[in-house]
Amino acid sequence: MSFDQIRLDRHEGIALLTLHRPERMNAFTTEMMLEIVAALDECDADDGVRAVIFTGAGDRAYCAGADLGQGAATFDYDKRTDKQAILPDGMSASPVAEDGTIDWSHPLIRDSGGRVSMRIFDCKKPVLGAINGAAVGIGATMTLSMDARLASEAARYGFVFARRGIVPEAASSWFLPRLVGIQNAVDWCYSGRLIPAREAHEKGLVQSVHAPGELVDAAIAKAREMTDHSAPVSVALTRHMLWRMLGAPHPMSAHRWDSRAIFARGRSADAAEGVSSFLEKRDANFTVSVANDYPWFAEFEDTPPYS
Give the pLDDT band of residue 1 (cuts 50, 70, 90): confident
Per-residue pLDDT, 77: 62
pLDDT of residue 304: 93
pLDDT over threshold 70, residue 74: no
6-226: CATH topology: 2-enoyl-CoA Hydratase; Chain A, domain 1 (3.90.226)
pTM (two decimals) = 0.94
Strand order in 134-136's β-sheet?
61-63, 134-136, 156-158, 194-196
Query: Residue 119: which of 161, 159, 171, 74 has the closest Cα?
Result: 171
Domain residue ranges in the chain:
6-226, 230-300
pLDDT higher for 66 or 90?
A: 66
> Is it the case that residue 156 has pLDDT exceeding 90?
yes
Torsion of CA 42, 301, 115, 290, to 10 degrees: -10
Is residue 26 over pLDDT 90? yes
CATH number of the 230-300 domain? 1.10.12.10
How crowded is residue 117: how many other Cβ atoms within 10 Å of its Cβ? 24
Which residue type, as a one-letter code, is found at position 74?
A: T
The type of residue at 265 is R
Q: Evaluate if residue 123 carries a pLDDT over 90.
A: yes
> What is the structure's pLDDT at 127?
98
- How far is 125 from 129, CA to CA, in rounded Å? 13
Confidence of residue 93 (pLDDT cuts 50, 70, 90): confident
Cα separation, 175 vs 144, in Å, equals 6
Q: What is the mean pLDDT of the chain?
A: 94
CA 1 to chain centre: 20
Which of 238, 241, 265 has its CA nearest to residue 253?
A: 241
* Average pLDDT value for residue range 274-286: 98
- Sheet hosting strand 14-19, strand order edge to edge: 6-11, 14-19, 51-56, 127-131, 148-152, 208-210
Q: Which pLDDT band, with edges at 50, 70 and 90, does 286 fall under?
A: very high
